[in-house]
Chains A and B, each alone.
Chain A
Amino acid sequence: MEKTTVCILDDEAIVGDRLKPELEDDGYEVEVFTDSASALTRVNETCFDIFITDLKMEGVDGMGFLERVKEKCPESEVIVITGYATMETARESLIKGAYDFIAKPFRIGEIKAAVKKAKKKARHRR
């Protein structure tokens, strides 16, 4: 069976650095980006099964990234992670089609569970 692919976008390198090995351990194929421009370039080449994106970033921010991903890859699931969690941002990202919304800092187990659920949903949809 093909591995589920995950794209992590966060301008704080620590997030990708720590999440990547954790998700790889669970059998995912993971790519990490720290700026939205290069992540978007990659999205033009391929649709990952699952996206994990920060909200507040230079250039195209997480909300913009979410919209572009949903446009280009409607089948993919997007999990939004942010240190600026408010009801407003949560609602907005869910309206724009995010699958889940997680406030930073988060437990590794928490995001793994979200990814697992997103994977099930993505599978189901296919």
Chain B
Amino acid sequence: MLKLGGVFTVLKNLLGRKKENQAPFSDLFVWFQNILKKNNAAMELIADMGGKMGGEFIFDKKYLSDNVKKLQELVRSSAYDLNYITDNQYLELYGVIEDLAKKLEIELSGKIVIPGAKRIYDLNEIEDGMEDLVGYKACNLSRILNLSEVKVPDSFAVTVGGFRDYMAYNNLFETIEGAVKEYSDEQKSVESVSNATQLRILGGEIPPELRRQILAAGERLSCGKPGSCYFAVRSSAVGEDGDLSFAGLHDSFLNVQFNELLSHYKKVLASLYNQASLEYRLRMNVLSLEMAMPVLYQKMIKSHVSGVLFTLDPNRPERAESLLSASLGLGKVVVEGQEGVDTFRISRNPPYPIVEQQIRSKSPMETPPEKDASQKGTGEPSGDPCLTSKEISAIMDVGLILERYFKRPLDVEWSMDEDGQLWILQARQLNMPRPKRMQHTKLKGATEGHRVLFKNRGMIAYRGIGAGPVWIVENDQDLNHFPRGGVLVSHFSPPWLAKVIPRATAIITDVGAVTGHMATVAREFRVPTIVGAEVATELLAPNQEVTVDTEKNIVYEGLIQELIHHQLLDVPSFETTREFQLLRRLLKKIAPLSLTDPADPGFTPRGCQTFHDVMRFVHEKAFQALVQAGKDSRSFLRRGGKRLKSHLPLDLVLIDIGGGLAEEVGKEMYVEPEKITSTPMKALWQGLSSPNVWNTEPIPVDFKGLMSSLTRTQSSELLGNALPSVNLAVLGSNYVNLSLPLGYHFTAVDAAIGSSPENNNISFRFVGGVTDITRRSRRATLLANILEKAGFKVKMNGDLVIARAINLSEEQMMHQLLLIGKLIGFARQLDVLMKNDEDVAYYFQKFREQLEKPVET
């Protein structure tokens, strides 16, 4: 909530601006409409680029640079428009845009952006393409952060730059180069070269600046209190876990204390030159000075049981089985292949039955030192398996999510803490004996005998192969029971399918666009997806097992293992191409939207992290400029605004920015609702004016409600920015922005609806009320529940509710707006009535009944 000072600033801005510097009011409409147009064009470009992430298109670098250029122009000129109509209030935007543009241009030029002296990256700062900087291990883990269902311990990486600093500071480069040469020339044994080199490294000193940075990052990881946590310090050597595995060749250390962070840094660096590593490098012909060792620091998980999962048995890939080893405690025994380890051979198909298991007798757990004393006494050898079948299936679920994401069989190191939470410590490509690429003819043979259920239907949103039982989603209930590894089938492609996408092996919808939100999420999680297949819900039966090949756009009956293997083992993914990776990096700086709440203090030019943010910012501020230009309804009416004729207690002023009202309205001051031609406003009005929705009876405010109403100010403070003091609707043919400062609460709806779903969006905001915060929050909870149920993405904070719906078809969007219209009327005075928490459920039900009533057309 804005403080009083903020209100004054807003008022001062409103009153104090010199008239001659403002754009003329009539011009404002034109400029605002221009901004809307540019906004739409930018959204279309972003959606188009997003659509190319699915692998169905062949695009080149020219496509990428052309689109980035077009976007830059749109964003720049929108910022110019905004500054024109606001008397240059947002000059800072230009700098922000140029910073973003520069980052994109650097990406396009092919240079990786490495901020000069940065030696330490938190995991979430690491981006694709930084493999050479922080190593594959750290890069892979940072990519896993994208998967909300998978947990990764807090971590940071010390870069190659840190390694070089260390080597240079201690004058080690030349000596080591000489020693390694002696080894490769066979002048000296591996043992003597390795020992001497490692000793030199261990004897070095960490440069002071690097030392400071490591300790500072360590402090951030240690929950603020050094000494309260333990660390794992792992090698993340360049090349390691990439094409070459180096598995286990370099050292990693567990249970490292804060005061050992620096000494273990050196130990991990030294392991770059241990005997096994040197021998392996010589054998693989990669023995050179390009050897470099980024180091990964991870917060230790207090693990109850841990181990390693191979998502596919490397020796018998055709059997569709995973190998899982587990031991009590930290899992070091599993990695190092010691005793006391249970091993399981598990079917990859849910519910993951165990095919074979070997249970060993176990000695006490290896735990962080602080626990040793208490554990040692109780650690009797035991012969029980260290995992329950439920835990095994949780590990399999996550392992297969990761495998689908990386599209390769994986070697996953995991740990389960005392609360049963599963953590992924590292994941790397599993080296498989490489069979020759399966030939076309052989693959064709594999699909023979499998009935083709349908082919060449709809559009491919993401290429790949997925197989599993069909699960048809018609409602929430279906969605809540969606099985892991199922094939998600739905008539529509609403964004709220997103929550089960990480669990799906493939997705088919009857209706939808490759540029829609659902398809975007499917690409994010790399789930093979067909949208607009028309016949899926009709031709596919629940629980029917199918194989979905979106490379060829064919859906087969049954599970075709050969096809699944073909994708996992043989096909180089389109995602490994340079252009694709470039597109992904560009989109990261273009597409995400982080500015969603205009009342948030971060809603500023500096808060814009992407081009999408900039467009959102410009749109919001342009709209504010428009409504601030009129002080009261008379001033709007004088300048061409109209009054809506209506039986509702709603003095609504309409401003037509083009195509929002029928032409015959002309200069008339009063407009019948039938004359509204704005598509979204029509739907909203239909909802607002439905019979019985709008409660016009005065509602008695009880004493408590009255007292708090006396101490509350009017709604102009509510959203942290200047609002119209009148009920105002700005209309375009496909656009509406409705602001209703009704009594003590404020409602705003901004919606664009047309025939292309990628441009369709609704945002809804509701805040305030006459009563105390408890009752206001009750009403907010009710609204949030209703909107969430209806498929909106909802954020709630106190009595503020923000809801968004995007990319639905025109028809669905209209339906959502109708609901919002009804909701505005329904919720108007509810905060007064909602005296108990139970009322939330009561009114939820009441609204549902309202919804089912037919609307007047």
Contacts and interface: CB of A to CB of B under 8 A. Distances in A.
B695 to A, nearest CB: 53
Contacts of B456: 109
Contacts of B553: 109
Contact of B574 (A18, A25, A27, A106): A18
Interface in A79-126: 83, 104-109, 111
A40 interface: no
Interface-central residue, B58, B440, B578, B579, by most chain A CB under 10 Å: B58
A12 B61 contact: yes
Given A14-B60, A14-B577, A17-B577, A105 B440 contact: no
Contact of A105 (B59, B460, B577): B59
B58 A18 contact: yes
Looking at B56, B60, B66, which has the most chain A CB atoms within 10 Å of its CB?
A: B60
A105 B578 contact: no
A18 to B, nearest CB: 5
A109 B457 CA distance: 12
B56 A14 contact: no
A109 B554 CA distance: 13
A26 B66 CA distance: 32
Contacts of A15: 58, 60
Interface string B47-61: 000001000111111
Interface string A52-67: 0000000000000000
Nearest to A54: B60
A104 B440 contact: no
A61 to B, nearest CB: 14
A39 interface: no
B62 A14 contact: no
A12 B577 CA distance: 12
A10 B66 CA distance: 18
A107 B60 contact: no
A104 B63 contact: yes
Given A104-B63, A105-B63, A19 B58 contact: yes
A106 B62 CA distance: 13
A17 B58 CA distance: 10
Provide the main secondary structure of the chain A interface: helix
B56 A109 contact: yes
Contact of B58 (A24, A25, A111): A111
A14 B440 contact: no
A26 B443 CA distance: 11
A106 B57 CA distance: 5
Contacts of B577: 14, 17-18
A46 B81 CA distance: 58
B440 A83 contact: no
A112 to B, nearest CB: 10
Nearest to A14: B579
A109 B553 CA distance: 9
Interface in A1-41: 10, 12, 14-15, 17-19, 21, 24-27
Interface of A: 10, 12, 14-15, 17-19, 21, 24-27, 83, 104-109, 111
Given A18-B577, A106-B58, 13 more contacts: A12-B60, A12-B579, A14-B59, A14-B61, A15-B60, A17-B577, A83-B66, A104-B62, A105-B58, A105-B60, A107-B58, A108-B57, A109-B456
Interface of B: 52, 56-63, 66, 440, 443, 456, 460, 553, 571, 574, 577-579
